[in-house]
Amino acid sequence: MQVLVEAPQHSGLTGPLDYLADQALPPGTLVRVPLGRRTVTGLVWDAPTADADAWAADQLKPVAEVLPDLPPLPPTWRQLVRFASAYYQRSLGEIAMMVLPPELRQLDAVQWGRRFKRLTKSLAQPPAATDAPEVLPDLTPEQQTVLDALAPSLAPGDAEPAPTTYLLWGSTGSGKTEVYLRQADRALQAGRQVLLMVPEINLTPQLEARVAARFAGRNIVSLHSGLTPAQRLRNWMLAHLGLADIVLGTRLAVFTPLPRLGLVVVDEEHDPSYKQQDGARYSARDLAVYRGQLEKVPVLLGSATPSLETWFNALPQAEGGAGRYQRLTMPSRVGQGAMPRVRRLDLSREPKPRPGQEAPPLAQALLDAIAERVARGEQSLVLLNRRGYAPVLQCSDCGWKSECPQCSAWRVFHKVDRTLRCHHCGLTDRVPRACPNCGNLDIHPLGRGTEKLEEQLAAALPDARVGRIDADVTKLKGALEDRLASVHAGEVDILVGTQMVAKGHDFRRITLVAAVNPDAALFASDFRAAERQFALLLQAAGRAGRDASVAQGSEMWVQTWHPDHPLYAALARYDYEFFAQQQLKERQMAGLPPYAHLAMLRAEGKTQEAAQGFLVEAAQLVEALAAELGGILLYPPVPTAVQRVANIERAQMLIEAESRPALQRLLARATDDWLALAHQHRPRGLVRWAVDVDPLAI
C-alpha cells in the first residue's frame, strides 16, 4: 500500500512510498512505518495500485503498526492536502504530516492507545451548560439584509446552488462579528460544524470569549500555536471526531478535519498573517475558499479593507472584475456611530528643531488634542509600527552604527534591558559603554520606536497615564490579556502600540487615534505597500469612536510630510472603493496581481554568488519551457531587501505569468529539475531553496 511520510522538499521523496501490510487499510489511516533507521508516523494515501503484485515481498518493508481507534482522515481532507501540495509545490508527505498535531506524529500505537483512553474520558464530559442564555443584540437593517442574503447558502436541496464564497465588506464597528455568529448559529442548528479563522493569536482570546458567551453549552475549541501539544491534540481530536461544534483558529486551522463542516468564516481576510512565510508557503485564506468549493459549503470572507485580489474577485464582470464572489456590504457603524474625522497634519509647516535638538514625538497641535482628551477622561491611541527604543545607535564622532554582524540590518536599541537586538536573527548584546571603533562615550539613538515614544509622551504629558502594547511587552503568557484589560478598565489614558492594537479590538473609550510615522510605506519598492498601509490606517481609525455616545467628536490624526498624497485623501473620505479602483488600474497597467500571476524562486547560500548562481542556472533550465508555454517572463536574479540574515546570503528570481495554469505547469515540470540542480550546487555553497507561489512581497 501507498503511505505518505514526512519528507522535506530537498529529499526528492515527493509522493507516497510503498509498504506491505497484512490487512487492507482504508486511505486516511495513520500507521507507523520504518523509514531508514527510524520508525515514523505515516498516512495510508491511496488504495493499492493495479501493479502492486509485481513487487516482490522481500523488496518492501512491512507496516509496523496501525494507530488504533483513530478514524481515517476523510477524502475531502486528503484532496485539500493534495491540492495544497500541487499548487504550492511542496511534497505530499510534508504537507500531510505538517498539518497534523505534533504529538500525534510522535506517538506509537501503545502510547496512542493510552492517550486515546484518557482523551475519551475527557471528551465524554459535555461542556458546561448555562441557565442564562445571552440576550441577542438587535440587528441593524444592514446586518439583517446581509443575513437574508446568506440564508440560502445553508439551505439544502436547492436546484441552483447558492454562491459558496461571499465577501462581507463592512466598515470597522459595523457588526461583522455579529453576522458571523448569527450565520454560525444557523449552521449549528442544521447539525453542522463551523470553522472560524482569525489572522493572529492575540485576536483569538477576545473573539473566543464572545463565541463562548454566545454558544454556551456547545463544544468550542481553539487551534493555534499558542496551545500546548496536549491541548492541540485534544482539540484536533474533538474536531476530527465531529464532537467540536466550532473550531476557532489561525491559519493552520484550515487543515482541520471536520466531518460535518457547514460554514467557513475568514475574519480580516486581508491580513498577511494568513500567508505562511517559511516552509510550505500556503495561503490559508485561499485554501479556505478552495475547501468551501470542495465541500460545497459557504465561505464568508470579512474585512473593512479587503485585499485587492479578493476585491477583484468580488467585482462583477461588468465592472472589470472576476465576478467569482458575491459582495455583501455594511457601510454603517452599529448605533449610527460616525467614523472619526481624519485630520492631516503637515509636518513641513511645523517649527524646525534647533541644531543638535531632536524633533518632538508629536506636533504641538496633536499633543494639545491628546491633552484635551485626557482632561475629559477619554483615551487616545498613538500608532507607531516600530518596536524598541530606537532603530539604531550611532557614534557622533566616527559615525559607527549598531550594525548586526550577521545580517545586513541594524540592531535595534532596547532601553528597558539596555540591549542591542537584531529583529532578523535574534542576536543580542549589551549596549557598549563607548563606541567600539573610536572609544567615544557619546553614542546616541537615532530614530524612534514605541519604547521611546512612550517615554517621550510620559514626559510631555506628565498627568497622563501612558501604556504600551507591542511584541516586547506581551511575550509572557497572559501579558497581552492583562494589558488589554487595563485599557478596557480605563487605567490607561494614552496607549502606544504597533499594528497589534490597530485591528480587531473593541476599545470603547478611545476617541483619538494618531499615526506618528505613516510615510515610510508610501514610496516603498513593494507593490503591495500602499495597500497594506491603507488597511492599517483605516483599521487603526476604526478603534476610535466605537461608542456612539462619543463618536461624533472622535478624530484620526495623520502626521505626514505628504498630506496631499492620494492614499491620505482616500483615507480622509474613508473611500476604500475609490482607493481600490485606483490601485487596480495601476496594477493592470504594470501587469501585477490580480492581472498577472507570480511565483518567486528563492535561494540562500554561503555567498551571494552561490545563491544567484543557482538561480541563473535554474532560469536557464526553464527558458525553453517558458517560451513554449507563452506569456511567462523570467526576471534576472537579485538580492532580497535584507540581503544577509544569520550569515546566510539570500537572493530571489521573480516569475511572472499571464495565466495561472501556465505558471503551474511550468513549476510542476521544473521542480524536479531544480531539485537535481540544487544537489549539484550544494558543494558550491547553496544552503536551501524554495518556491513561493503568490508571494506577498517582492
Average pLDDT of the segment spanning 150-156: 76
Q: Is the pLDDT of residue 130 over 70?
A: no
Which pLDDT score is estimated for 47?
Answer: 67
Band of the pLDDT at 238, cuts 50, 70, 90? very high
Q: How far apart are the first and last CA of the chain?
A: 42
Where is mean pLDDT largest: 6-10, 43-47, 123-127, 255-259? Answer: 255-259
Numbered residues of the known binding site for Zn(2+): 395, 398, 404, 407, 422, 425, 435, 438
Average pLDDT of the segment spanning 23-31: 93
Residues carrying CATH 3.30.70.360, the chain: 597-693
CA atoms of 307 and 528, how far apart (whole Å): 10
C-beta contacts of 469-472 below 8 A and 24+ residues apart: 469/495, 469/496, 469/497, 469/498, 469/500, 469/501, 470/387, 470/497, 470/498, 470/500, 471/387, 471/498, 471/500, 472/387, 472/388, 472/414, 472/416
Please enumerate in sequence order all residues whose Cβ is within 8 A of that of 214, keeping only pairs 6 or more positions apart, or say none.
134, 181, 185
| Grid coordinates belonging to 394 | 550611532
Mean pLDDT of the chain: 90
CA atoms of 16 and 327, how far apart (whole Å): 41
Band of the pLDDT at 14, cuts 50, 70, 90? confident
Tell me if 85 sits within 8 A of 95, measured CB to CB.
yes
In degrees and rounded to multiples of 5, residue 521 shows phi and psi of -90, -5
What CATH topology corresponds to 141-335?
Rossmann fold (3.40.50)
| Grid coordinates belonging to 672 | 524536479
Among 3.90.79.10, 3.40.50.2000, 3.30.70.20, 3.30.70.360, name the CATH number for the domain at 597-693: 3.30.70.360
Which pLDDT score is estimated for 153?
Answer: 74
Average pLDDT of the segment spanning 158-169: 75
Band of the pLDDT at 549, cuts 50, 70, 90? low
Domain 2-123 has CATH 3.20.20.70: no
Per the omega criterion (within 30 degrees of 0), is the bond before 405 cis? no
Band of the pLDDT at 356, cuts 50, 70, 90? low
Distance (Å) of CA 246 to CA 121, 124, 265? 20, 17, 11
DSSP state of 80: H
Numbered residues of the known binding site: 395, 398, 404, 407, 422, 425, 435, 438
Q: How many CB atoms are located within 10 Å of the residue 367 CB?
A: 16
CA atoms of 251 and 246, how far apart (whole Å): 15
3-state per-residue secondary structure call for 198-265: CCCHHHHHHHHHHHHHHCCCCCEEEECCCCCHHHHHHHHHHHHCCCCCEEEECHHHHHCCCCCEEEEE
In degrees and rounded to multiples of 5, residue 169 shows phi and psi of -100, 100
Band of the pLDDT at 105, cuts 50, 70, 90? very high
Q: Is the pLDDT of residue 445 over 80?
A: yes
339 compared with 515, residue with greater pLDDT: 515
Tell me if 269 sits within 8 A of 219, measured CB to CB.
no
Residues carrying CATH 3.40.50.300, the chain: 141-335, 337-387+449-588
612 compared with 477, residue with greater pLDDT: 612
User: What is the SS3 assignment for 619?
Assistant: helix
Average pLDDT of the segment spanning 660-686: 94
Q: Is the pLDDT of residue 560 over 60?
A: yes
CA atoms of 511 and 337, how far apart (whole Å): 12
Tell me if 611 sits within 8 A of 603, measured CB to CB.
yes
Tell me if 575 sits within 8 A of 346, measured CB to CB.
no
Q: Is the pLDDT of residue 354 over 90?
A: no
Domain 337-387+449-588 has CATH 3.40.50.300: yes
190-233 pLDDT tens trace: 999 999 999 987 766 678 888 999 998 899 999 988 889 999 99
- For the entire predicted model, the pTM comes to 0.93
Q: Is the pLDDT of residue 566 over 50?
A: yes
Average pLDDT of the segment spanning 591-598: 95
Q: Is the pLDDT of residue 470 over 50?
A: yes
Average pLDDT of the segment spanning 472-495: 89
Band of the pLDDT at 159, cuts 50, 70, 90? very low
84-101 pLDDT tens trace: 999 999 989 999 999 999
333-345 pLDDT tens trace: 887 778 899 999 9
Average pLDDT of the segment spanning 302-323: 94
Tell me if 583 sits within 8 A of 270, measured CB to CB.
no
523-541 pLDDT tens trace: 877 889 999 999 999 999 9
Tell me if 268 sits within 8 A of 303, measured CB to CB.
yes
Q: Which of 10-24, 295-309, 396-410, 415-429 has the lowest mean pLDDT?
A: 10-24
Residues carrying CATH 3.40.1440.60, the chain: 2-123
